């Protein structure tokens, strides 16, 4: 396995651009970069530039991964760049992105079934609970888009890998794979997102294991709070995700799998609201009815996971939501955010260290670049 990072969460990615970002990835001692879409590598899908990017990544010994973007047609208006890539034809744009990616050796391509709206707290932050269209209707529409893209995917040897994103469950991803075909559809396993759907990360990893072809590696706090449960992204190793259990599952599926860190963006790159409390409304009847695949056994394991981290918080081993928010982002005052470039780099290194330690402890294969003495 190789340990790298998602480009959008790399500090100063937009400022540096793709080429210089490769240098930063190398300087951080990471093994590669996951560009969410081909347009993040080149907005115009310039073939010459993409070849140069591939060549530089190869020279630096870095893996290069990419994706297509959002494939939920009810979200298309929120991603106008996909339509623009096809001159007004979204399917043509996605196929063009697919072909541009394959031309530089990127055949495992991320796709996402929705968007997350941080401005809204609770279930309305995700497309699963939007009120103008049901989630079942959205899933059917996603399936139809995947089927329209499937011939091009098969012709190009591509897997369109559906992420365990904020709004979808691992059960639903499995049904999409079955409906469209595992020869062209797989999964991007985000190690923490499924907790927002009441799923236990280890149980979800086991369910999806044969189909996991890409990853997003992150951790999160899940603890009781007014309205349900808090969800707060955390430094890897300080949340509820049991990497000692999950990493052997991933390595067992594919010892060459890439592990792409997805950390909280620097506040210099993405200004954020003070105290953006995310709530999993797990006790709400509407929320519960919206998750018919969850079993009592998995929910028991899920709440045992919550109990365990709450015990660690009480013992002073893990920071509470409030403590972590203040120490990491420099609140309570919005004007005094302290989570800049240096802090984001420190979080990356702390997260990478935890993954390395787990892999060493469990005897798992992991390749990283040699850490330079001084970062450029």
DSSP string, 186-240: EEEEETTGGGGGT--HHHHHHHHGGGEEEEEB-EEEEEEETTEEEEEEE-TTSSS
**What stretches of the chain adopt beta strand conformation (E)?**
2-6, 32-34, 63-70, 108-112, 159-163, 185-190, 212-216, 219-225, 228-234, 258-261, 278-280
What mean pLDDT value characterizes the chain?
93
321 part of a folded domain: no
Please state, in angstroms and rounded to a whole number, the distance separating the CA atoms of residues 232 and 219. Answer: 9
User: Higher pLDDT residue, 125 or 367?
Assistant: 125
pLDDT at 265: 86
**pLDDT value of position 368:** 64
Token readout for 76 is 């298309």
In a domain, 229, yes or no: no
Residue 372: the pLDDT is: 46
Predicted local confidence at residue 274, as pLDDT: 63
pLDDT of the residue at 121: 83
Where is average pLDDT lowest: 115-124, 275-284, 365-374? 365-374
**How many structural domains compose the chain?**
1
The pTM (predicted TM-score) of the whole model is 0.94
Which CATH number is 27's domain given? 3.20.20.150
Q: In this structure, are residues 93 and 83 in contact, taking their beta carbons and an 8 Å threshold?
A: yes
In a domain, 311, yes or no: no
Any domain includes 370: no
Q: What is the pLDDT of residues 193-204, one digit of tens each?
A: 999 999 999 999
In a domain, 42, yes or no: yes
State the residue range of the domain holding 92. 2-219+234-278+338-362
Residue 268 domain flag? yes
Which residues share a beta bridge with 189?
215
Tokens matching residue 202: 């280890």
In a domain, 147, yes or no: yes
pLDDT at 40 over 60: yes
Question: pLDDT, tens digit, for every residue of 278-304?
Answer: 899 999 999 999 999 999 999 999 999
Least confident stretch, 16-20, 315-319, 344-348, 365-369: 365-369
| 3-class secondary-structure state, position 114 | coil
Three-class secondary structure of residue 116 per DSSP? strand
Q: Confidence class of residue 138 from pLDDT cuts 50, 70 and 90? A: very high
Are 150 and 184 contacting, i.e. CB atoms less than 8 angstroms apart?
yes
* Percent of the chain's residues with pLDDT above 90: 85
Residue with tokens 């997260």: 351
- Mean pLDDT is lowest, of 161-170, 179-188, 325-334, for 325-334
Which pLDDT band holds residue 187 (cuts at 50, 70, 90)? Answer: very high
The residues facing 32 across adjacent strands are: 63
**How is 59-92 classified by DSSP, letter by letter?**
HHT-EEEEEEEE--GGGGGG-HHHHHHTTT-HHH
Kindly report which listed range (4-8, 155-159, 276-280, 284-288) carries the lowest average pLDDT score.
Answer: 276-280
Chain segment 314-362, per-residue pLDDT in tens: 999 999 998 888 877 754 444 445 788 998 999 999 999 999 999 999 9
Q: Is residue 254 part of a domain?
A: yes
Average pLDDT, stretch 18-32? 97
In this model, does residue 242 exceed pLDDT 80?
yes
Neighbouring C-alpha atoms within 13 Å toward the C-beta of 260: 27
């Amino acid at each position: 396995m190789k340990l790298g990072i998602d480009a959008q969460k790399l500090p100063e990615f937009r400022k540096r651009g793709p080429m210089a970002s490769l240098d930063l990835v190398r300087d951080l001692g990471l093994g590669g970069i996951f560009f969410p879409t081909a347009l993040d590598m080149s907005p115009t899908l310039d073939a010459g530039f993409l070849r140069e990017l591939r060549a530089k990544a190869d020279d630096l010994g870095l893996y290069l991964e990419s994706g297509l973007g959002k494939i939920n047609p009810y979200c298309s208006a929120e991603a106008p760049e996909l339509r623009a890539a096809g001159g007004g034809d979204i399917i043509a744009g996605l196929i063009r992105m697919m072909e541009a990616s394959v031309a530089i050796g990127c055949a495992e391509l991320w796709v996402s079934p929705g968007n997350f709206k941080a401005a809204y707290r609770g279930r309305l932050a995700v497309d699963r609970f939007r009120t103008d269209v049901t989630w079942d209707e959205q899933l059917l529409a996603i399936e139809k888009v995947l089927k329209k893209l499937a011939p091009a995917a098969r012709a190009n040897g591509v897997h369109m890998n559906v992420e365990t994103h904020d709004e979808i469950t691992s059960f639903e991803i499995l049904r999409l794979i079955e409906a469209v075909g595992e020869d062209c559809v797989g999964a991007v396993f985000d190690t923490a997102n499924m907790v927002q759907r009441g799923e236990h990360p280890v149980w979800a990893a086991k369910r999806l294991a044969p189909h996991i072809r890409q990853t997003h590696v992150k951790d999160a706090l899940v603890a009781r709070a007014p309205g349900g449960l808090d969800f707060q992204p955390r430094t890897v190793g300080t949340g509820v995700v049991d990497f000692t259990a999950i990493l052997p599952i991933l390595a067992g599926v594919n010892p060459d799998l890439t592990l792409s860190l997805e950390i909280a963006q620097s506040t210099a790159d993405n200004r954020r609201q003070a105290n953006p409390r995310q709530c999993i409304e797990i006790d709400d009847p509407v929320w519960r009815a919206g998750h018919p695949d969850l079993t009592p056994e998995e929910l028991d394991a899920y709440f045992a996971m919550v109990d365990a981290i709450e015990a660690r918080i009480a013992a002073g081993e893990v920071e509470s939501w409030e403590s972590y928010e203040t120490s990491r982002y420099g609140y309570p005052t919005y004007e005094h955010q302290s989570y800049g470039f240096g802090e984001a780099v420190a979080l990356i290194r702390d997260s990478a260290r935890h993954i390395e330690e787990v892999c060493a402890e469990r005897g798992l294969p992991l390749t990283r670049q040699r850490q330079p003495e001084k970062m450029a």
